[in-house]
Amino acid sequence: MQLPQFSDVQAAAGRLRGRAHRTPVLRSATADARTGASLFFKCENFQRMGAFKFRGAFNAIVQLSPAQRRAGVITFSSGNHAQAIALAARELGVRATIVMPADAPAAKLEATRAYGGEIVAYDRFAEDREALTRRLATERGLALIPPYDHADVIAGQGTTALELFEEAGPLDALFVCLGGGGLLSGCALAAAALAPACALYGVEPEAGDDGRQSLRAGRIVTIAVPKTIADGAMTTHLGELTFPIIRRHVGDILAVSDDALIAAMRFFAERMKMVVEPTGCLAAAGAFAMAPQWRGRRVGVIVSGGNVDLAAYARWLAPGADA
């Protein structure tokens, strides 16, 4: 099993040039005043299809052999990875099959279809999606690109931190959202090479703190599907590739409550005029919680995505609302 290296992140940056957006790094005087730190927000909510996942998807598909490209790709996801694969595949002239639950939100099914993905619906309660995806991949000769446990996906996601360090300069700490760990492990490769003294934190939802448990246990801990508004971080375990990288480079993993995510979502809307989805608020909520420790320091925060159901978003922003 070959772990990706920093050189793979650099190579991914070359492949993504002109294909992915170089997203802005935004500052907020209010956030700095509140925390006493200098915060640098890397805004992947402005990435193509609305989240960093386009980076990994494109970096994986563009490296397939001509025969694999002709055959097409397949993945399982009901979230941002589905849209990322559909869009990246369309750009590269590759057919994409996405295995999604039949009862996925209509907006997500539509968005994936609009990017050109062919949806295979399955029954969440009766079928195992990974097994179904693997079977279809074998039967149809499709290349399977999973959401996080894939070397090219990890390297692609790592370009997020690479760009942040290029733009913001040295940082004392970096906070990254954590689901299956593709983003965190990729960013860890960049941080370890470019800023070895930078403290690295993963932030996951309190209800699904399998990453924290895994770091403490020294092995991958699997949990039940967590109940949280952070739908992009409802993963039940880290990956065979992501865990060893996280274990080597990440200082600590924090867990934040859904209420802290709502507070961060409101902060982004009110003060920075940005729509950020709940999962995209994890790193900011972690940075706000740890602020006293980082007073006077330079702190990076990855804002991972902005795809949110508008009705739910309106409810969360309404005064007095909680999770």
Ligand X SMILES: *Cc1c(COP(=O)(O)O)cnc(C)c1O
Interaction site with ligand X (CB under 6 A): 51, 53, 79-80, 147-148, 157, 177-184, 232-233, 235, 277, 279-280, 304-305
Say whether 78 is catalytic: yes
Active site residue 214: no
Which residue's CB is nearer to ligand X, number 74 or number 177? 177
**Rg of the chain, C-alpha, whole Å:** 18
**Of residues 180 and 208, the one with the C-beta less far from ligand X:** 180
Selecting among 42, 77, 78, 108, the annotated active-site residue is 78
CB of 295 to ligand X, least distance (A): 27
Q: At its nearest, how many Å lie between ligand X and the CB of residue 189?
A: 13
CB of 70 to ligand X, least distance (A): 28
* Residue of 53, 77, 214, 304 marked active site: 53
Q: How far apart are CA 163 and CA 178, in angstroms?
A: 19
User: Judged by CB, which is closer to ligand X: 184, or 256?
Assistant: 184
Output the residue with the shortest Cβ distance to ligand X.
Answer: 305
Q: Which is nearer to ligand X, 97 or 307 (CB)?
A: 307
Cβ of residue 133: shortest distance to ligand X, in angstroms?
Answer: 16
Catalytic residues: 53, 78
